[in-house]
Chains A and B, each alone.
Chain A
Amino acid sequence: MSDKILEMKNITKRYPGVVALDNVSFSVKNKTIHALVGENGAGKSTLMKVLSGVITSGNYEGDIYYKNEHCEFKTIKESENLGIAIIHQELALVPYLSIRENIFLGHEHSKFGVNDVYKMREEAIEVLKRVGLSRMPETIVSDLSVAEQQLVEIAKALTKHIELLVLDEPTSALNENESNQLLNLLLEFKKEGLTSILISHKLSEVIKVCDAFTILRDGAVVETLYRGIDEVTEGRIVQGMVGRSFANNYYPPRDSDIGDVVLKVEDWNVFSTAEDKQIIKDVSFDVKRGEVVGIAGLMGAGRTELAMSIFGYREGQKASGKIYKNQELIQNNNISMAVKNGFAYISEDRKVYGLIQMSTIKDNMTLVNLKSVSNNGRINFDKEINEVNTLIEQLVIRCTGHEQVVETLSGGNQQKVALAKWIFSDADIILLDEPTRGIDVGAKYEIFSIINQLAESGKTILMISSELPELLGMCDRIYLMTQGKIIGCVDAEDATQETIMAQLI
C-alpha cells in the first residue's frame, strides 16, 4: 500500500470566466499534517469543496484517489462515509442545542426513531475527553467560547470515525493560548493515526506543526515543501503565496514625529448590566500624536469592550472615568458624541459591525460624514462621488467603481473601505480592532502601510490585535491587558513574543 492517503490529480475547476483551479495536483501522506496555504482566492476552499463533494463529480476535471481508490463524490455524505470531514471557518453548530445534540446532529443513535440519549451521552463524554474539553455534554453551545465551540466541531467529526480531517482556518478566531492547545491536539491525533489538512493564514503555526506545505497561488500549485527535505521558512512561503518577496521586513517602516499626548484615559471602569459584572477595571492609558499603540491580551481580556466603551458604546453597560483629548476633558457618552469628538472605531467584525454589506462602496464610505457632502440635508452627489473616487485611488481599493456592492469585495478591500470611511470622517483618534483579521498576506501589508500613513499624518492610533508579531511589528508601545485590567506597558522595540506571553498568562 502506498503511503498516500489522498491523491488529487490534475484537478481543474472552471467558473464562467474564471479558472478557479488550474491543473492542481495535491497529495497527502498518511498520518501527517499537511498545510494548504495561499492568499484568499488562491483556490484553497475550492479544492476542499472538490474533495468533500460540495462540487460534485462531473463539475470538475481530474481524479481523486482516496486510499488508492478512485472516488467520485456526489454528496458530502459520501465523502464523510469514507472518513473525510471538513471543519469550516464559520462554525456550523446550532447555538441553542447542547453539545451532545450538536455532536450527534444528523447521525443520532436511536431505537425505532427514539433517540438513545444515554448511549450518545456516554460517547459524547468520551470524545470530549479526547479533544480535551471539560464540559458537560448538556451545556448549551451558545454558552461556550469560540475555542470551545471549535473543539465541539472536532468532537463531532471524531464521532464519525474519520481518517482525514480538514480544518479551514481553525485558529483565526482563537488567541495564542487557545491556538496552541488546538495545534497540540492535532499533533496528538497524528500520533493516533489521523491525517489532517490545515488551511491557515498564520504561517508561524503552520510551520510549527505541519509536515508538508502546499502553496497555492491563483488556482495553481506553486510548490510543495516537505519538512526535513526542503528548507521551510515563513519568508519562502510568503514569497510563494504572493509571488514577490518582502525585502526582509514584512512590516513597512514608519517615519512619524511623535508629538504630545492626544488621548488620555483615566480610571476607566465599565460595568456590564447584561452580564452583571465589571468588565473593565481602573484602566488608564495614553496615546500620543503620530503614535501607534497596541493592546495585547488574550481573548476575553476586555480589549474590544475597552475600545468600544471609549467610543461611546453603552448597550447593556455603564462606564465611568475620564477621557481627555489634548488635555481637555471630553464626554463620549454615546457614539454620536465620540464621532463629533473625532474618534473612529473600526470593528474586528466587518460583516456585522463594520460595513453594510448590501450597500455600495460610496454609501458605506460617506455614511459617517454625510453632512460634509450635503447642503441642508440634500446630498450633493457630484461632491460625494468625487470624494469617494479620491479615496478609492488613494487607498488603492480594487473595485469596478464606487457603485460596487461591498459584499463582493475581498476582505482586504473591505477593510480599506472601512478605513476610508473613517478617514473621510476626519477622525484623529482611530481605534483599530483586529485590523487584519481574515485578510491575506499581500493585503495585510497594504493595510499596515495605510496605518503608517495615518500615523505619519499626525493621527493617533490605538490598535488591538491577537497576533503578537503584528503588534511588535507595527506599534511603538504595547499595553498588556488581562481580565479587564492593564497590567503593564512595554516598548515594542525591547519586547518579544515570549516576554509578553509570559506576562499575559
Chain B
Amino acid sequence: MNKLNIKGSNLKNFKKYGMILTLVAIIIFFQILTGGSLLKPLNIANIVQQNSYILILSTAMLLVIIRGTVDLSVGSICAFIGGVAAMLLVQKQLPLGPVILFLLLLGAVIGAWNGFWIAYVGVPPFIVTLASQLIFRGLAIIVLDGQTIGPFPNQLRAVSSSFLPGIWVNSIDLLSLFVGLALIAFILLSRVFARRKSKKYGIPVRKLWIEFVEALFIIIFIGFLIFSFATFQGIPSVLVLLGILIIIFSFLTTKTTVGRRIYAVGGNDKVAMLSGIDTKKYTFMIFVTMGFIASVAGLVYAGRLNAGSPKAGVGFELDSIAACYIGGASASGGIGTIAGTMIGGLIMGILNNGMSIIGVAVDWQQVIKGLVLLLAVAFDLMSNKKKQ
C-alpha cells in the first residue's frame, strides 16, 4: 500500500514536471528555429496578447472540465458578445461603461441558459453546448448582419492591445521591474511557508533540491518576462486582467469550500449529492461562470480585432479545452489545476506563435496542435494505467 502510494505521487510529479519540461523544450526548439525571434521582447508581448483570450477562457473552462462536463459554445458566445458590442457601441453609440456591464450580464445569462438545460433538465452537456454553438454563431451573424463592424472606442481597444503607463527611467520600465520582483518574492515566500506547514503536519514534502530547481525555474521565467516588458513597452494591460482572474480562480479551486465541492461533484456526483451538496446548483453556477468569462474573453478579443466579426472566436472552445487537458485535467472530471491549465495554454500558444514565425502553414499548424493534444492525453491515460 505504502509503496503504491509513493509510486503514484512520483508519477504525479513526473506528469507535472513533464508538462513544464515540454514547455521548456518547445521554447528552446522554437528559439533556435526562429533564430532568436521567439524570445524577443516584442514577440513576448505578442504572445501574451495573442493568447490572453484563450487563457482567460481556460480559467472558467477548467471548472467545466473538473465538473466532468464540456462547453463547446464559448467561441460562439465570444462572437455573439462581440457582435452585440459592435451594435451597441458602434451603431447605437451608447456609453462604454453601461454597455460592458450589460454584456457581462448577458454572458452570464447565456451561461445560465446552458446550465439550465444541463443541470435541471439533464440534457448531456455535449449536446446542449453544441446546440448553443450553432445558436449563438447564428445570432452573431444576425446581429452583425453578416458584416464586420468597427471600430470600437479607444478604451475597449486599450484593454487588449495597450500597455500600462509605467515609470520610465533610461527607457527601462521600473513598474514592470517592481511588480515582477514583488511577484517572485511573493511566490517564493508562500512556498517556504507551505513547506513549513506541510512539515508541521507530517505531510511528505518534496526533496529540497527539487524545490530549489522549481524556484530557479520560477525566477528565470518571471525574471525573463520582467526583462522583456521593462525593455519594451511595459506590462500589457490584458496581463493585469488575466493575472486577477488567475488569482481568483486559483484561490477558488484550492482554498475555498466552493472549490472543494466542485472537485467533489466532478469526482463523483452521486457521492457529492449523498453528502448533502446541491449538485445541480453547482453545475448550473459553473456554466453561469463560464458564460460570464466567455463574455470577458469576447470583449477582449473584440477589442483586439477592433471590430465585431461573425467569424470571431471560431475554435476558441477547442483551444481552451485543449489547454485544460494538456495541463493535466482529467476528461472524466475531478482533476485539474489552474497552474497546469495556464501552462497547457502557453504550450499551445507558443506552438502557434513559433510555427507562425517560421512560416508553417496554418493547415500544418492544426495537424501539429492536434497531435500534441492527443499525445498529452494519451500520456495522461497511460500513466494512470500504470498506477493501477
Contacts and interface: CB of A to CB of B under 8 A. Distances in A.
A356 B334 contact: yes
Nearest to B202: A401
Contacts of A379: 255-257, 260
Contact of B274 (A313, A381, A404, A410): A313
A371 B277 CA distance: 12
A173 B377 CA distance: 36
A336 B201 CA distance: 32
Interface residues of B, number: 32
Contacts of B204: 401, 403
Contacts of A125: none
A202 B2 CA distance: 29
Interface in B151-198: 197
A367 B260 CA distance: 8
B36 to A, nearest CB: 44
B271 A404 contact: no
B334 A335 contact: no
B359 interface: no
Interface residues of A, number: 47
B9 to A, nearest CB: 9
A410 B2 CA distance: 12
A400 B5 contact: yes
Most buried by A among B1, B3, B202, B261: B1
Interface in B239-283: 255-258, 260-261, 263-264, 267-268, 270-278
Nearest to A343: B276
Contacts of A16: 3
A408 B8 contact: yes
B371 interface: no
A403 B203 contact: yes
Contacts of B1: 398-400, 408-410
B4 interface: yes
A356 B268 contact: yes
Most buried by A among B201, B272, B275: B275
Label chain B's interface by main secondary structure: helix
A63 to B, nearest CB: 28
Contact of B275 (A340, A367, A400, A404): A367
Most buried by A among B8, B197, B263, B274: B274
B203 A401 contact: yes
A363 B268 contact: no
B386 to A, nearest CB: 12
A353 B264 CA distance: 12
B267 A359 contact: yes
Given A335-B273, A356-B334, A404 B268 contact: no
A397 to B, nearest CB: 12
B263 A363 contact: yes
Nearest to A345: B274
A399 B257 CA distance: 25
A375 B270 CA distance: 26
Given A356-B267, A358-B335, A400-B2, A336 B274 contact: no
Interface string A5-28: 000000000001110000000000
Contacts of A404: 5
Contacts of A338: 276
A371 B273 contact: no
B263 A359 contact: yes
A356 B5 contact: no
Contacts of A403: 203-204
A385 B199 CA distance: 12
Contacts of A355: 268, 271
A13 B255 CA distance: 44
Contacts of B257: 370-371, 374, 377-379
Given A313-B274, A358-B335, A408-B4, 18 more contacts: A311-B274, A336-B276, A339-B276, A353-B271, A354-B271, A355-B271, A357-B267, A366-B260, A367-B275, A368-B275, A370-B261, A371-B257, A379-B260, A382-B197, A382-B201, A389-B201, A398-B1, A403-B204
Listed from nearest, the 4 A-B pairs whose CB atoms lie closest are A339-B276, A356-B267, A17-B3, A370-B257
18 contacts: A334-B278, A335-B273, A336-B276, A338-B276, A347-B274, A352-B268, A353-B270, A358-B267, A358-B334, A359-B267, A359-B334, A370-B261, A371-B257, A385-B201, A401-B203, A403-B203, A405-B8, A408-B5
